[in-house]
A and B are shown apart, each in its own frame.
Chain A
Amino acid sequence: QKEVEQNSGPLSVPEGAIASLNCTYSDRVSQSFFWYRQYSGKSPELIMSIYSNGDKEDGRFTAQLNKASQYVSLLIRDSQPSDSATYLCAVLTSYNTDKLIFGTGTRLQVFP
């Protein structure tokens, strides 16, 4: 079992729709969770962080965390073509040392 799992996609949604990206993780004691966006040929950029159960909203983005189910998601409301990118879920794990474990990413395509 991979430490952080994401569906590779692509996830295709029409412009204006809600895109839902999901991620599961295996380390039960993880406390910090992050979503990064990576445009093709570019480096990742942090868009959301979440540390406690529930929802965290930032503009059109909402991160959701459920530690009991070891599940974290990212919702993008009113999706725009400019949101088309790969979204990486990352979990700060403490197996041996603190390190950020990334999922392989979900490619999102928003079509006009």
Chain B
Amino acid sequence: KAGVTQTPRYLIKTRGQQVTLSCSPISGHRSVSWYQQTPGQGLQFLFEYFSETQRNKGNFPGRFSGRQFSNSRSEMNVSTLELGDSALYLCASSLDGQEETQYFGPGTRLLVL
């Protein structure tokens, strides 16, 4: 069974731009969670989508948004990029949101210049 895939793997943007990241979950998984990982803050929860609905949300500004499609694929969007948004963005999929079945994708490394 294929794992979680994320595209693109690397991205360079400039301040003020916006970016869209994509995540394809493991087949059959309906929950997709997004995390931001930085050296200083570690791994921080952004939001979780389940059956096309945002089920949980972390403490990030409204510039960070996401959505999930009927095939469970998910996208996250960051608008008006700031230097501090440079990070590794990880998505994780699970059958129904249970952490025991959660698998992480390889991540998208975003650099904001």
Contact = CB atoms under 8 A, between A and B. Distances in A.
Given A43-B105, A43-B107, A45-B104, A100 B42 contact: no
Given A43-B90, A43-B105, A49 B100 contact: yes
A100 B57 CA distance: 11
Interface stretch (B10-18, B43-51, B71-79): B43-51
B110 to A, nearest CB: 15
A44 interface: yes
Contacts of B57: 97
A45 B105 CA distance: 10
A12 interface: no
Interface of B: 33, 35, 41-45, 48, 55-58, 90, 99-100, 102-107
A100 B99 contact: yes
Nearest to B56: A97
Contacts of A90: 43, 99
Interface of A: prevailing SS: strand
Interface of A: 32, 34, 42-46, 49, 88, 90, 92, 97-105
A102 B104 CA distance: 14
B99 A46 contact: yes
Nearest to A42: B106
Given A43-B104, A97-B55, A97-B57, 18 more contacts: A32-B99, A42-B106, A43-B105, A44-B43, A45-B103, A45-B104, A46-B99, A49-B99, A49-B100, A92-B99, A99-B45, A99-B56, A99-B58, A100-B45, A102-B44, A103-B42, A104-B42, A105-B43
A13 B67 CA distance: 44
Contacts of A49: 99-100
21 contacts: A42-B106, A43-B104, A44-B43, A44-B90, A46-B99, A46-B103, A49-B99, A90-B43, A90-B99, A97-B55, A99-B45, A99-B48, A100-B33, A100-B45, A102-B35, A102-B45, A103-B42, A104-B41, A104-B42, A105-B42, A105-B43
